[in-house]
Amino acid sequence: MLNDLIWIPLLPLLGTLVPLFASRFSRSACAFLTAGLPALALVLVLQLAPQVFEGETVRQSFGWIPQMGLELAFRLDGLALLFTLLILGIGLLVVLYARYYLSEKDSMGKFYAYLILFMFAMLGVVMSDNLIQLWMFWELTSISSFLLISFWGHKTEARKGARMALTITGAGGLALLAGVLLIGNVVGSYSLHDVLASGDLIREHAAYPVILVLVLLGAFTKSAQFPFHFWLPHAMAAPTPVSAYLHSATMVKAGIFLMARMYPVLSGTELWFLIVSMTGLATLLLGAYVALFKHDLKGLLAYSTVSHLGLITLLLGMGTELAAVAALFHIINHATFKASLFMAAGIIDHESGSRDMRQLNGLWKYMPYTATLAMVAAAAMAGVPLLNGFLSKEMFFAETLHQDSLGSLSWMVPVFATLGGVFSVAYSLRFIHDVFFNGEPINLPKTPHEPPRYMRVPVEILVALCLLVGVLPTFVIGDLLYTASAATLQGAVPEYSLAIWHGFNFPLLMSFIALAGGIAVYVNRKELFQFQAQFPENDPKLVFEAIIQMIHKQITRFMELAENGSLQRYSYMMLSLAMVMMAKPLLDLNATAGHRPQIPVDAISITGAVLLAIGALATVIWNRQRMVALVALSVVGLIVSLMFAKFSAPDLALTQLAVEVVTVILLMLALFFLPQTTPKESSPKRVARDLGIAAVIGGVIGTISYAMMTRPLESISTFFLENSKTGGGGTNVVNVILVDFRGFDTLGEITVLGIAALGIFKLIARMRLYMPASDGDGRPWSKDSHPLMLSVVSQSLLPLALLVSAYIFLRGHNMPGGGFIAGLITSVAIIQQYIAHGVDWIKARMKLDYQLMIGSGITIAALTGLGSWFFDRPFLTSWFDHFHLPLVGEFELASAMLFDLGVYLTVVGATMLILANLGKLTTSERPVLKEHD
Amino acid sequence: MQHLAILPILIPLFTGALLLLPPFKDILNRQRGLALVSVTAQIIFAAMLLMTAATEGTQMYVLGDWQPPFGIVLVADRLSTMLVLLTSVLCAGALLYACAGQDKGGQYFHPLFMFQVMGINGAFLTGDIFNLFVFFEVLLIASYALLVHGGGKQKTQAAVHYVILNLIGSSLFLFGLGILYGTLGTLNIADMAIQVRHLGEAEAILAKAGGLLLLLVFGLKAALLPLHFWLPRTYSSASAPVAALFAIMTKVGIYSIFRVHTLIFGEEANLLADIALPWLWPMAMGTLAIGTLGVFASPTLRVMTANLVVISAGTLLIAAALQSEKATSAALYYMLHSTLVTGALFLIADLISRQRGKAEDRFVKSRAMAQPKLLGFAFVIAALAIIGLPPLSGFVGKVLIMRAAESTAEIIWIWPLILVSSLMGLVAISRAGTTLFWRVTTAPSSDDKAHPFEIAGIALLLAASPLLVIFGGFVTEFTADAAQQLHDLTQSVNALLPESTLHTGGDH
């Protein structure tokens, strides 16, 4: 089972959990346990390696989310093999190294967990056989590297560096996503197998330039290519093992990997050559030049990494097959020597307390063994013969000579390449000479000494590899390089020779020029440093941060303008939008009036309409005098009630009337707490604007209503008229609609009423309102709040009112009435008692729990609906029948009456909960917030 | 279970009413017990309903036995049952969190919470447009009350804005309904879909005004630019469990747009085909853009989360504007993801805010949190998911939506917008996270540890994100079927109106 390809990434994924548990043991045990699963994964890779060497591509896939073209698909070909070996091999060495590097204060479990998570993500990238999956792991590397770089999150530079890395690589990742999706659109599949076979299709597609740029944006940002290179040096805020891992063999190589992976699909065009090779060349030169001036050991190595990545990119960009081979070769070599150099730098930092080359001098005396290792690795970086760096650089120089894509300017490429070589030698020399020789250390925090034995082991292994590859290239690396090249090119691998000696030729000459030039530059570095000092040094981290800050500021300013918290503005926007949305279609309506015969106009209707208009206008005109406005508004309500009555809807008229009464009382109660007049808040301009909108909306609604009412309509209401008596058992259609046809709506509406009451109670329970002692003109309120006359009259009215409401309730199904109106009438009667007698008086005499009434009202109504379940009918199916009792005569019983009782109770409960409690606010009986336990 | 389809409405209704009565009245622990039992039952029945809808086809529940188009029907198809289940899960998470103590900040928390859920479920299930209005009122009025839960001037002020804007919205809703009833003569959504095809030219124009008004009202709920301005402030000032529950509220608006403007005013609506699209396109893209800017400018984590809700609304509305099966399927997946994750993020923000003392959740230097590891982990999961970075659910949703854009014009508009929005979200959230967790001055105070219920609530919601990816194949298959069902008009109309031939309406 372990032969499955999927275990190779899966084991490290499981391995992320190991350190979290193992961190309770000793540090060595923790490191050892952490290394276990990745080591096992390495064994699996090695087991599969022979198959791959034979030219086979091991693949395995599982279905996952077909809708997005994502499948869990892995492949192990030569290229993937090369990278898995680097990732797992160097990863394991870093685990060992970090065991000694991390201090007691650092959380080892967390560190290892992030590290192995990153390893998992990298393995996923290189082994993906599906582009969406590749992208998924790609982003996962960005995220896990963010966690690693910001491992010391309390340091501001770690936070900023990590954020910058995340932003740049994240941006590239998103571009890559777009690129990948476009490739999918072109090819019709995200499977690498299909994509790699569709090179011509993609290159000839109109979208090719876009795809190319998007994919390259992903690759360049990840691999720190100019002009996106600046994040990498600042990612050095990470602990050194992280740098050794991420910035030598893995993270930054992911971009290179992507270019190699997509090489058969995207390369071979003029555009590819121009973008990739020019970017590579610029990066190569810039990185090499800047590296020389860095005083920080890791800074130097970081820029050197940038430069070497540029070199590999340049090779890939050249588009020749040999150049691709050279690129792969340099990937291996750079990974080995750069990882060892970072580790050496970490040792120096760890044992001397500084990474500043102005302080670090003459360490040879203190740590000769480490110094030797570092010097060999640095020599490999410089491209000194007999070391691996020399070989691949030689191939690189040879390739620069063989390209001619720049036409008559092609000679510049080898020249610039050699120039890059010169600086590369110079900074390698500086690394060696400044640190290990060049006098005595200056003000080091610690006296330097050799590191613990096993901290050196990883460096030793890597340096040994540098030497072995340098001396016996074919034997050590030949097969791997060959299969990797075959997989990258997806075709025949060109003839190449890994020999150390190719005779006297141009590449060798270039190597020598680079060596000699490098020494010359280093010797004359003082002048160069002085020249460089003329440029103002700006920290990209700060520049980047400043840019983000500026964007933040601008956006904040804009958002403050847009979201200014003004309710008027928001309502204005909504109403204007409503106006446009309604008015625009009307522009196409030719004839407003329809063909329906119109009812003759009578004097009553006209009077009503005029009163309505006056009422509405008066409300607007006197809107700042609240009481007047309220009275004017009630005129509107009254006329509407009358209109309902006129158009044969007495139920609605009654309801509307009752609602009017209750709401006006409610509003008057609320007005008591408010000033009599509102301040003048709107400027004349705004008043004009608002009037305009109101007029247009009114006009539009009026037009629509007129157009609608003058047209005939065939609607479902005929059905209600026909079935009210036979199906619903009532002749009052409105009531039958309310409690039967659309009883479910009513159930919802009484719930709304109940909730509203609860909500208002909830709100006022917390309120402490200012209670005016006088009216608007300063006259004190009357001391006699409960006049005798009122008390007596209202007391005698109560039974009468209750009787009326019972009557209204009972006759509801056939005549105007019903639970809703009855409830409102009862409420009015009770409110009257409150007004007449005051809260204290009522409280002693009426034990009404309004909350209980709401709860039971809703429950009764809902239970009535539930009752039909026992007859195997849907919710709220009604039942009615006629009975005969002596004396009483024939009468009807209907399930709707029980439902109506629920409505009645809820209405009474809800209106009273609101009114009584709002009223109580004025007395000593204000509701108290019940804080539970 | 012939009554299964109505249970998601009845269970919270009865629970809410019972909570007002003895023996639950005023005794918080009993209320919590009942509420939790009720929510568990809701999840179980919602899941059963979903299974039934998936295996046996759309379930229609005819209330009062009045056959459509005359009576009210509930329609439990894949789309509505999926959203009901989503609501139940979200509400379980929010309720668990609230039971740790936030339900004490005022009266009637549990009944109101239940009524709100009832309203949301009702809005998803109903097949009648007036009934939709009623359930909108139920959920709105409950949300008004819940918004002031916990007290404070800020909440009251935000609530006033929210209430007034929504009252205007409700009036416009009624206008729209009146116009549509006045032209189509029916309220059953499927029947309206039939009637709309027979409209004469003049009536069609009137109905268009009504249809657009509905778009506006749904847009207000969905937080569509320029109607979204109330959202950041309202959501960020609500107490945490309420804000978490509100994460589904914008989705009710979006759902209604999908339902009404695909079914009634969809491709086959003759003169009124796709009337929403010319409006939806610019507004949806603007919503995504302004949400992104809002995220970038947010001074606190809660405001940021609220703006993330705006972003998710914009993304969903873009999918709605694409008006294709594929896009709808993608939107449904994204809806599941964004609802649960933003809900979780509101809860996390609350814990962070409590543990940071006076600085609350503002992005400034402050004292360290008492449980940085736990909260950091939760924050990272939620942040990755909501920005849309792998391996969590957001990236699946975003990729699905991007893939749904097929024509070059669509790609040119949508892809850059979504990608840039993701990038800015990434920058903003990484800044927020590093500041909240790492820019610390003093030692934490240890007495503010999260209650196990709170952690459970967050865990429940967050767990959905990886699960949505792991079982992504299964989920997307379901959403694809749901989308197919929604867009297949003949199928949905026939399912709702078996006797639709009887009532063809005819020419007006």
Distance in angstroms (rounded) separating the CA atoms of residues B234 and A649: 40
Average predicted confidence (pLDDT) for chain A: 87
Which of A552, A562, A855 comes nearest B21 by C-beta? Answer: A855
For residue B477, what are the contacts with CB-CB under 8 A and spacing of at least 6? A66, A67
CB spacing of B6 vs A875 below 8 angstroms:
yes
Higher-confidence residue: A538 or A609? A609
Average pLDDT over residues A310-322: 90
Contacts of B138 in chain A (CB under 8 A): 748, 751-752, 755
Which of A184, A755, A856 comes nearest B142 by C-beta? Answer: A755
For residue A217, what are the contacts with CB-CB under 8 A and spacing of at least 6? A171, A172, A175, A176, A179
Q: Which of B227, B124, B207, B439 is nearest to A160 (CA)?
A: B439
B73 forms beta bridges with: B62
Distance in angstroms (rounded) separating the CA atoms of residues B84 and B424: 32
Residue to test with chain A: of B4, B27, B28, B434, most A Cβ within 10 A: B434
Predicted confidence at residue B507, as pLDDT, reads 38
Whether B504 and B194 have beta carbons less than 8 Å apart is answered as yes
Joined together, the tokens standing for residue A358 give: 């102005």
For residue B365, give the chain A residue with the closest CA: A154
Average predicted confidence (pLDDT) for chain B: 90
Which of B389, B399, B423 comes nearest A143 by C-beta? Answer: B389
Predicted confidence at residue A922, as pLDDT, reads 67
CB spacing of B297 vs A548 below 8 angstroms:
no
Q: How far is A542 from chain B (nearest CA, A)?
A: 14
Q: Is 70 exceeded by the pLDDT of residue A228?
A: yes
Which of helix, strand or coil describes residue A384?
coil
Whether A911 and A662 have beta carbons less than 8 Å apart is answered as yes
CB spacing of A70 vs B18 below 8 angstroms:
no
* Residue B501: pLDDT band with limits 50, 70, 90: very low
Joined together, the tokens standing for residue A59 give: 């693949």
CB spacing of A167 vs B16 below 8 angstroms:
no
Stretch (H or E) spanning A704: helix A684-709
Predicted confidence at residue A406, as pLDDT, reads 78
CB spacing of A855 vs B438 below 8 angstroms:
no
Give A680's Cβ-side CA count (13 Å radius).
6
Distance in angstroms (rounded) separating the CA atoms of residues B359 and B364: 7
DSSP state of A510: H
Contacts of B390 in chain A (CB under 8 A): 135-137, 139-140
How confident is the model over B84-123, as pLDDT tens digits? 999 999 999 999 999 998 888 888 899 999 999 999 999 9
Q: Is 80 exceeded by the pLDDT of residue A2?
A: no
Contacts of A551 in chain B (CB under 8 A): 296
Q: Is A663 exposed, middle or buried (0-12, 13-18, 19+ CB in 10 A)?
A: middle
How confident is the model over A240-277, as pLDDT tens digits? 999 999 988 888 999 999 999 999 999 889 899 999 99
Give the CA distances from residue A402 to residues A388, A408, A413, A422, A500, in Å, rounded to whole numbers and listed in that order.
Answer: 22, 13, 10, 20, 20
Q: How far is A187 from chain B (nearest CA, A)?
A: 14
Per DSSP, helices labelled H in A23-64 are: 27-53
Using left for φ > 0, alpha for ψ between -120 and 50, and beta otherwise, residue A882 falls in beta
Distance in angstroms (rounded) separating the CA atoms of residues A776 and A448: 87
Average pLDDT over residues B477-504: 76
Using left for φ > 0, alpha for ψ between -120 and 50, and beta otherwise, residue A712 falls in beta
How confident is the model over B231-285, as pLDDT tens digits? 998 999 999 999 999 999 999 999 999 999 998 998 888 888 889 999 999 999 9
For residue B65, what are the contacts with CB-CB under 8 A and spacing of at least 6? A868, A873, A874, A877, B71
CB spacing of A591 vs B415 below 8 angstroms:
no
How confident is the model over B423-442, as pLDDT tens digits? 999 999 999 999 999 888 87
Using left for φ > 0, alpha for ψ between -120 and 50, and beta otherwise, residue B74 falls in beta
Distance in angstroms (rounded) separating the CA atoms of residues A496 and A392: 12
How confident is the model over B10-27, as pLDDT tens digits? 999 999 999 999 888 888
Q: Which of A854, A801, A807, A806 is nearest to A829 (CA)?
A: A801
Q: Answer positive or negative: Cα dihedral of A324, A328, A333, A338.
A: positive
Q: How far is B18 from chain A (nearest CA, A)?
A: 6
Predicted confidence at residue B462, as pLDDT, reads 95
Which of B13, B19, B69 comes nearest A751 by C-beta? Answer: B13
Distance in angstroms (rounded) separating the CA atoms of residues A561 and A565: 9
Average pLDDT over residues A326-332: 93
> Tokens 């120039």 belong to which residue?
A419
- Determine how β-strand B59-62 pairs with β-strand A880-885: unpaired
For residue A562, what are the contacts with CB-CB under 8 A and spacing of at least 6? B229, B290
Q: Which of A349, A417, A415, A341 is nearest to A379 (CA)?
A: A341
> Tokens 């999926």 belong to which residue?
B82
Which of helix, strand or coil describes residue B297?
helix
C-alpha B381: how far from its chain's center?
Answer: 21
For residue A467, what are the contacts with CB-CB under 8 A and spacing of at least 6? A376, A386, A387, A388
For residue A586, what are the contacts with CB-CB under 8 A and spacing of at least 6? A700, A703, A704, B205, B209
Whether B192 and B166 have beta carbons less than 8 Å apart is answered as no
Which of A741, A749, A930 comes nearest B64 by C-beta? Answer: A741
Q: CA torsion angle for A168, A169, A174, A176 (degrees, to 10)?
A: 120
Other C-beta atoms lying within 10 Å of the C-beta of residue A341: 30
Whether A676 and A627 have beta carbons less than 8 Å apart is answered as yes
For residue A849, give the chain B residue with the closest CA: B21
Predicted confidence at residue B439, as pLDDT, reads 87
Percent of chain B past pLDDT 70, that is, above it, reads: 97
Whether A745 and B72 have beta carbons less than 8 Å apart is answered as yes
> Tokens 């007002």 belong to which residue?
B20
Q: Is the whole-model pTM more than 0.80? A: yes
Q: Answer positive or negative: Cα dihedral of A694, A700, A706, A712.
A: negative
Using left for φ > 0, alpha for ψ between -120 and 50, and beta otherwise, residue A849 falls in beta
Task: Tell me which of A613-627, A765-779, A817-831, A849-863 is least confident.
Answer: A765-779
Joined together, the tokens standing for residue A156 give: 């501001």
Whether A127 and A491 have beta carbons less than 8 Å apart is answered as no
How confident is the model over A433-491, as pLDDT tens digits? 988 988 888 888 888 888 888 899 999 999 999 999 998 888 888 889 999 999 998 88
For residue A181, give the chain B residue with the closest CA: B403
Annotate A401-432 with b (16+ C-beta within 10 A) or e (fewer). bebeeeeeeeeebbebbbbbbbbbbbbbbbbb
Whether A441 and A448 have beta carbons less than 8 Å apart is answered as yes
CB spacing of A594 vs B181 below 8 angstroms:
no
Contacts of A67 in chain B (CB under 8 A): 329-330, 400, 472-473, 476-477, 479-480
A71 forms beta bridges with: A63
Q: Is 50 exceeded by the pLDDT of residue B290?
A: yes
Q: Is 90 exceeded by the pLDDT of residue B333?
A: yes
Percent of chain A past pLDDT 70, that is, above it, reads: 97
Joined together, the tokens standing for residue A894 give: 């209907």
Does the interface predicted TM-score (ipTM) exceed 0.90? yes
Q: Is 50 exceeded by the pLDDT of residue A931?
A: no
Which of helix, strand or coil describes residue B75?
strand
Which of A555, A745, A762 comes nearest B107 by C-beta? Answer: A762
For residue B202, give the chain A residue with the closest CA: A589
Which of A562, A574, A594 comes nearest B227 by C-beta? Answer: A574
Distance in angstroms (rounded) separating the CA atoms of residues B329 and B331: 5
Chain A to chain B, count of Cβ pairs less than 8 Å apart?
A: 343
Q: Which of A671, A675, A669, A641 is nearest to A655 (CA)?
A: A641
B76 forms beta bridges with: B59
Q: Is 50 exceeded by the pLDDT of residue A933?
A: no
Distance in angstroms (rounded) separating the CA atoms of residues A638 and A618: 14
Q: How far is B457 from chain A (nearest CA, A)?
A: 22
Residue to test with chain B: of A762, A895, A914, A929, most B Cβ within 10 A: A762
CB spacing of A181 vs B402 below 8 angstroms:
yes
Which of B22, B72, B434 comes nearest A159 by C-beta? Answer: B434
How confident is the model over A97-110, as pLDDT tens digits? 999 998 888 888 99
For residue B143, give the chain A residue with the closest CA: A759
Q: Is A590 exposed, middle or buried (0-12, 13-18, 19+ CB in 10 A)?
A: exposed
Which of A68, A177, A856 comes nearest B400 by C-beta? Answer: A68
Contacts of B229 in chain A (CB under 8 A): 562-563, 569-570, 573
CB spacing of B179 vs A65 below 8 angstroms:
no
For residue A557, give the chain B residue with the closest CA: B297
Residue B90 sits at φ, ψ, to 5 deg, of -60, -45
Average pLDDT over residues B51-74: 89
Q: Which of A837, A586, A595 is nearest to A699 (CA)?
A: A586
Q: CA torsion angle for A664, A665, A667, A673 (degrees, to 10)?
A: 150
For residue B339, what are the contacts with CB-CB under 8 A and spacing of at least 6? B86, B90, B247, B248, B251, B312
Q: Is 50 exceeded by the pLDDT of residue B508?
A: no
How confident is the model over A640-654, as pLDDT tens digits? 999 888 887 888 888
Whether A840 and A923 have beta carbons less than 8 Å apart is answered as yes
Which of helix, strand or coil describes residue A666?
helix
CB spacing of B423 vs A167 below 8 angstroms:
yes
Higher-confidence residue: A212 or A776? A212
For residue A756, give the chain B residue with the closest CA: B141
Which of B63, B172, B183 comes nearest A708 by C-beta? Answer: B183
Annotate A194-214 with b (16+ C-beta within 10 A) or e (fewer). bbbebbebbbebebbeebbeb
